[in-house]
């Protein structure tokens, strides 16, 4: 009896220790950084700044940080050669050279494969994270733009090939992208074969990137959601310190059961494709896309072809237009996608302007670039989605949109237009532009361009009402023409053409929709990098000392910072014109109508 009493506490102790071991920190960790410097390093030294953060940090003994550098015409710091692929171990606050290799294209799968094989073989660990550093162009363009090799990139298939061969059956704890636009369904689907987690941004990233002073410390003691929280919070804190948090996004996606998302996605897309012969079905999809968060920037300054996946699915499950279809889109299928994506998001951070970003985007060609669409169809992981896109862009008539009534005053004393029923098959969005009316009654300067609000649309008859509130925007007290480029429940994003310090640029600001009032907040200048063909990795707020020109007026932002205002237009009469845009970007303009304020 006494012996049994002694054994029982021992068994309890062993059980407790076993349970504790299930959640204990990894005994070893490896961070593999594939650092393609590109013009981010050669022009601004951002890669060197991140390396300095690592060198200044206290990396625990159980963490190995291995960096491979390349892809830049010039490295600014740390005596890194430009004509070699270099491998370093971060040790005792120094870069310890591991290998000096012949130059190679960082946008080639073989270069990534060799690094992954070297890192995982030489520094095996319980917790291995691979981080790809550089520009990101999303699903179609990939990441890591090597400026020494014509900005060649690692495409998604090349990443798959590199990890398949380089890991040789091993599995990563995390794949991260310190790059823009890589938190995509297609990226996550591909990497789910090789990693337990994806950490990436849906939107463009702040140039200074992740908080490298904290990553090594977190890897030494944390995994899963705790690690994701540290990395995401560290990035947001860094963005906040430089006043660039408003559009920041970073999310951690659980890839261990990604098949649930893929299955739900395929079933929803099959259901939507069944509706493509219906004008209502096509229109329903595009309304859902329009009302969801979108990301990036194209060469015209508008949002790019990335849309929030769970947000679009949520919109699809509940919009009034779907009740018009005789074969209604199955809202259960859309709800399944919404739920599956949200359940897979381990942790995320968002700025105010992107508060409705749920953590994972999907490519959808709102803006028509045939070459890009064809490239996407080669890599699209869903046959049903590929078929849907092909069906959308097949058998396009010469005239896609026409007016049944190009402008009339309704009984509500507001301006209306009505499109023909067939127009719904190809309609992307409907906007209206307000123009000043000169004293002689002629057409004056444009004041504002906005989306027609969904609540002001009779979807049964495709009748659109202009409900203009008489407001315009000012920068430092100077009126600016503002074009709405994004619309969601939480925020309206506008773009204005300005000249900043002698350079013409696209300036963005947001109207944040609050419960009791709206708030104006600047986003900043978003640059489009023509060399790499994607949004530049950063946003640049207008700041004190910047010399601005708007509509021939010159002013300097004072030390108090930028002032944005909304005010009533200063004319008693104005003109209004509706513009219907088809899915190819072609505009169809209504009659111009004179209105009294």
Q: 122: helix, coil or strand?
A: helix
Residue 176 has what pLDDT?
Answer: 98
Highest-pLDDT range among 9-23, 85-99, 265-279, 552-566: 85-99
Residue 380 neighbours by CB distance under 10 Å: 22
Nearest Cα to Cα of residue 267 among 154, 122, 443, 385: 385
Residue 592 neighbours by CB distance under 10 Å: 14
**d(Cα 495, Cα 89) in Å, to the nearest integer?**
44
Those residues whose C-beta lies under 8 Å from the C-beta of residue 56, and which sit 6 or more positions away, are 93, 213
Those residues whose C-beta lies under 8 Å from the C-beta of residue 124, and which sit 6 or more positions away, are 28, 30
Helices (H), 57-149: 109-122, 138-141
**d(Cα 1, Cα 4) in Å, to the nearest integer?**
5
Burial class (CB in 10 A: 0-12, 13-18, 19+), 454: middle
* 266 pLDDT higher than 90: yes
Q: Which residue has the tokens 């995320």?
A: 348
Q: For 30-85, what is each residue's pLDDT tens digit?
A: 999 999 999 999 999 999 999 999 999 999 999 999 999 999 999 998 799 999 99
Mode of pairing for the β-strands spanning 127-133 and 29-36: parallel
Handedness of CA 172, 178, 183, 189 (dihedral sign): negative
Residue 11 neighbours by CB distance under 10 Å: 9
pTM of the model: 0.91
**Contact (CB, 8 A) for 529 and 132:** no
Residue 320 has what pLDDT?
Answer: 54
Residue 275 has what pLDDT?
Answer: 76
Percent of the chain with pLDDT over 70: 92
Mode of pairing for the β-strands spanning 482-487 and 443-451: parallel
Band (156; pLDDT cuts 50, 70, 90): very high
Q: 546: helix, coil or strand?
A: coil
**d(Cα 450, Cα 206) in Å, to the nearest integer?**
28
**d(Cα 233, Cα 250) in Å, to the nearest integer?**
9
* 321 pLDDT higher than 80: no
**d(Cα 367, Cα 578) in Å, to the nearest integer?**
19
Those residues whose C-beta lies under 8 Å from the C-beta of residue 596, and which sit 6 or more positions away, are 572, 573
Q: 362: helix, coil or strand?
A: strand
Q: For 16-36, what is each residue's pLDDT tens digit?
A: 444 443 445 678 999 999 999
Q: For 206-232, what is each residue's pLDDT tens digit?
A: 878 999 998 988 998 888 999 999 999
Residue 549 has what pLDDT?
Answer: 94
* 592 pLDDT higher than 70: yes
**Contact (CB, 8 A) for 367 and 486:** no
**d(Cα 315, Cα 340) in Å, to the nearest integer?**
15
Residue 189 has what pLDDT?
Answer: 98
Residue 526 is classified by DSSP as -
* 418 pLDDT higher than 70: yes
C-alpha distances (whole Å) from 366 to each of 301, 394, 526 are 14, 15, 19
Least confident of 119-133, 304-318, 521-535, 568-582: 521-535
**d(Cα 227, Cα 221) in Å, to the nearest integer?**
8
490: tokens are 């939480």
* 299 pLDDT higher than 80: no
- The mean pLDDT value of the chain amounts to 89
Percent of the chain with pLDDT over 90: 70
Mean pLDDT across the stretch 506-517? 82
* 13 pLDDT higher than 60: no
385: tokens are 């989605």
Mean pLDDT across the stretch 150-173? 97
**d(Cα 78, Cα 328) in Å, to the nearest integer?**
61
Residue 380 has what pLDDT?
Answer: 96
- Give the containing element (helix H, strand E) for 372: helix 370-379
Residue 515 has what pLDDT?
Answer: 62
Q: 197: helix, coil or strand?
A: strand
Residue 275 neighbours by CB distance under 10 Å: 22
């Amino acid at each position: 009896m006494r012996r049994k009493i002694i054994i029982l506490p021992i068994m309890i102790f062993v059980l407790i220790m076993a349970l504790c071991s299930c959640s204990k920190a990894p005994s070893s960790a490896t961070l593999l950084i594939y650092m393609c410097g590109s013009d981010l390093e050669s022009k601004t030294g951002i890669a060197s700044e991140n390396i300095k953060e690592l060198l200044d940090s206290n990396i625990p003994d159980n963490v190995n940080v291995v960096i491979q550098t390349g892809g830049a015409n010039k490295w600014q710091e740390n005596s890194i050669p430009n004509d070699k692929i270099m491998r370093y171990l971060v040790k005792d606050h120094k870069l310890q050279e591991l290998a000096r290799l012949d130059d190679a294209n960082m946008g080639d799968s073989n270069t990534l494969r060799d690094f992954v094989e070297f890192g995982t073989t030489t520094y095996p660990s319980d917790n291995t994270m691979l981080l790809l550093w550089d520009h990101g162009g999303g699903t179609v363009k990939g990441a890591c733009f090597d400026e020494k090799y014509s900005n060649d990139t690692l495409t998604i298939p090349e990443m798959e090939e590199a990890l398949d061969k380089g890991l040789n059956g091993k599995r990563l704890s995390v794949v991260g992208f310190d790059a823009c636009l890589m938190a995509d369904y297609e990226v996550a689907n591909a990497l789910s074969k090789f990693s337990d987690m994806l950490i990436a941004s849906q939107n463009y990233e702040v140039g200074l990137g992740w908080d490298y002073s904290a990553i090594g410390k977190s890897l030494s003691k944390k995994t899963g959601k705790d690690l994701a929280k540290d990395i995401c919070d560290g990035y947001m804190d860094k963005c906040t310190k430089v006043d660039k948090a408003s559009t920041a996004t970073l999310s951690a996606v659980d890839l261990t059961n990604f098949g649930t998302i893929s299955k739900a996605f395929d079933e929803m897309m099959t259901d939507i494709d069944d509706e493509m012969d219906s004008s209502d079905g096509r229109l329903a999809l595009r309304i859902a896309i329009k009302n969801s968060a979108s990301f990036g920037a194209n060469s015209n300054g508008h949002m790019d072809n990335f849309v929030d996946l769970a947000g679009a699915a949520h919109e699809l499950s509940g919009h009034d237009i779907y009740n018009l279809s005789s074969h209604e889109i199955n809202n259960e299928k859309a709800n399944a996608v919404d739920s599956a994506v949200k359940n897979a998001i381990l942790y995320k951070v968002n700025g105010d302007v992107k508060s409705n970003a749920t953590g994972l985007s999907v490519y959808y060609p709102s803006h028509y670039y045939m070459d890009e669409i064809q490239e996407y169809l080669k890599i699209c992981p869903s046959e049903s989605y590929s078929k849907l896109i092909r069906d959308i862009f097949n058998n396009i008539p010469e005239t896609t949109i026409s007016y049944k009534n190009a402008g009339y005053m309704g009984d509500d004393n507001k301006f209306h237009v009505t499109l023909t029923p067939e127009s719904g098959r190809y309609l992307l969005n409907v906007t209206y532009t307000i123009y000043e009316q000169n004293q002689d009654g002629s057409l004056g300067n444009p004041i504002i361009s906005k989306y027609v609000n969904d609540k002001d649309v009779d979807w049964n008859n495709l009748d659109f009402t202009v409900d203009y509130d008489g407001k315009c925007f000012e920068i430092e007290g100077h009126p600016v023409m503002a074009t709405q480029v994004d619309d969601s429940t939480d925020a309206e994003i506008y773009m204005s053409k300005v000249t900043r310090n002698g350079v013409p640029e696209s300036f963005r600001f947001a109207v944040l929709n609050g419960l009791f009032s709206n708030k104006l907040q600047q986003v900043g200048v978003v640059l489009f990098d023509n060399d790499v063909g994607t949004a530049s990795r950063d946003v640049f707020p207008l700041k004190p000392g910047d010399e601005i020109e708007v509509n021939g007026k010159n002013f300097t932002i004072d030390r108090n910072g930028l002032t944005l205002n909304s005010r009533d237009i200063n004319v008693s009469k104005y003109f209004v014109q509706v513009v219907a845009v088809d899915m190819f970007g072609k505009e169809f303009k209504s009659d111009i109508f004179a209105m009294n304020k």
